Amino acid sequence: MQRADYDLPFLLTYENVAWYENGKVRILDRRIYPTEVRFVECTTHQEVAQAITDMVTQSAGPYTAAGMGMALAAYETRGKKEAEQVAFLEKAAHTLACARPTTANRMGKITKGCFEVGKAALAKGEDPIEAIFLSTVDSLNRRYSIMDQVGKHLIKLMPHNGKVLTQCFGETIVGTFLRAARSENKDLEIFCAETRPYLQGARLTSSCAIDLGFPTTVITDNMVAYVMEYKHIDVFTSAADSIARDGHIANKIGTNQIAIVGQHYEVPYYVTGIPDTDKQTKEDIVIEERDPKQVLAYRGIPNTLTGVQAIYPSFDITSPSRISGIVTDKGVYSPYDLATYFSEEQTRFY
């Protein structure tokens, strides 16, 4: 198998996302990268689920962690009767899938697939641990390959010497898009909105961009209008945690307001990702409310006096009227015409 993570930055190498080996899952702790390069080691699938909930890994990282967590679940139940192992794997699939409410549908596809692979291996007297692990690597490679196509479509929308504003951390698309830019010798300058409260844009997206040799500038979340007007941003782009069939998308909180400002300054907004088959409208998107303490402190240092309150909706929804195009593996679609995407043959993503 040719690995699809070639020439990608450190953050996106398979082993540096999440990896199962010898009864443990190692997950790069993106909460502290690049200040520290540290891996969280999980010895149970519940610990993997908690790591996903706790934002040890973000963006598409949880999809890989969930698959590796299923291999760990198979390890946990080794030596027991087949029926017990099947029941354990089924329960583990639900636990891992529901670690994040907003993406439970996507995570569920991965863990259900792992469950079926493990169940089939047990029925044939084969090792379910190896079967699930290999299936997860195959899924990972497939997703990277598909996002490589997305990146190649996105780069065509970028002007030479263009200034590109990003939001949060789009995981694989960040790497494949910039890899495509290098391949086509297209010079870009990357501006990364910092993305409070975890600073994924500042820590993760900027790390990928600078790793691949692109001039990179981090801005605070309240500088967007300034850089659009005075630094002449050409394009705004982000990934999406959910893309409903009616053209509404959910992404990291703050995405909607950047899209609104972009409309004012006539900066096009291109969303990247694969539309969800099971989300018809924005009403089907669940917005996850995370612990507000994460807004009141960062890395254990309080930002406020005792008694101050906070809220932390982790995502917001952007309407199709603010989106210039949705860039998929099949090309660029109007957010008002995603039915066309579904009318064509679907490539399995998860």
In tens, the pLDDT along 251-303 reads 999 999 999 999 999 999 999 999 998 899 999 998 889 889 989 998 889 99
What residue type is assigned to position 235 of the chain?
V
Q: Where are the domains of the chain?
A: 14-145, 157-343
CB atoms within 10 A of CB 136: 27
In tens, the pLDDT along 8-48 reads 999 999 999 999 999 999 999 999 999 999 999 999 999 99
Helices marked H in 33-127: 45-53, 61-76, 82-97, 104-123
Q: How far apart are CA 188 and CA 287, in angstroms?
A: 33
Give the pair of three-digit tokens for residue 330: 């099949």
In tens, the pLDDT along 64-118 reads 999 999 999 999 999 999 999 999 999 999 999 999 887 888 899 999 999 999 9
Q: How far apart are CA 189 and CA 145, in angstroms?
A: 25
Q: How far apart are CA 234 and CA 272, in angstroms?
A: 17
Say whether pLDDT at 128 is over 90: yes
Q: How far apart are CA 189 and CA 214, in angstroms?
A: 6
Q: Which residues have a Cβ under 8 Å from the Cβ of 339 and sit 6 or more positions away?
A: 245
Over residues 302-326, mean pLDDT:
96
pLDDT score for 338: 94
CB atoms within 10 A of CB 343: 9
Confidence grade of residue 348 (pLDDT, cut at 50, 70, 90): confident
Question: CA-based diameter of the chain, in Å?
Answer: 66
Over residues 301-313, mean pLDDT:
95
The reply to whether domains 14-145 and 157-343 share a CATH topology is no
Say whether pLDDT at 221 is over 80: yes
Over residues 43-61, mean pLDDT:
95
pLDDT score for 93: 98
Q: How far apart are CA 167 and CA 233, in angstroms?
A: 13
Over residues 118-138, mean pLDDT:
97
Pairing of strands 24-28, 39-42: antiparallel
Say whether pLDDT at 120 is over 90: yes
Over residues 322-329, mean pLDDT:
98
Q: How far apart are CA 30 and CA 245, in angstroms?
A: 31
Q: Which residues have a Cβ under 8 Å from the Cβ of 66 and sit 6 or more positions away?
A: 48, 52, 96, 97, 99, 107, 110, 111, 114
Classify domain 14-145 by CATH architecture.
Up-down Bundle (1.20)
Q: Tell me the average pLDDT of the chain.
A: 95
pLDDT score for 1: 63
For the whole model, what pTM was predicted? 0.89
Superfamily of domain 157-343: Translation initiation factor eif-2b; domain 2 (3.40.50.10470)
pLDDT score for 133: 97
Percentage of residues of the chain with pLDDT beyond 90: 89
Say whether pLDDT at 197 is over 70: yes
Contact of 25 with 72, CB cutoff 8 Å: yes
Cα radius of gyration (the chain): 20
CB atoms within 10 A of CB 83: 9
Q: How far apart are CA 238 and CA 171, in angstroms?
A: 10
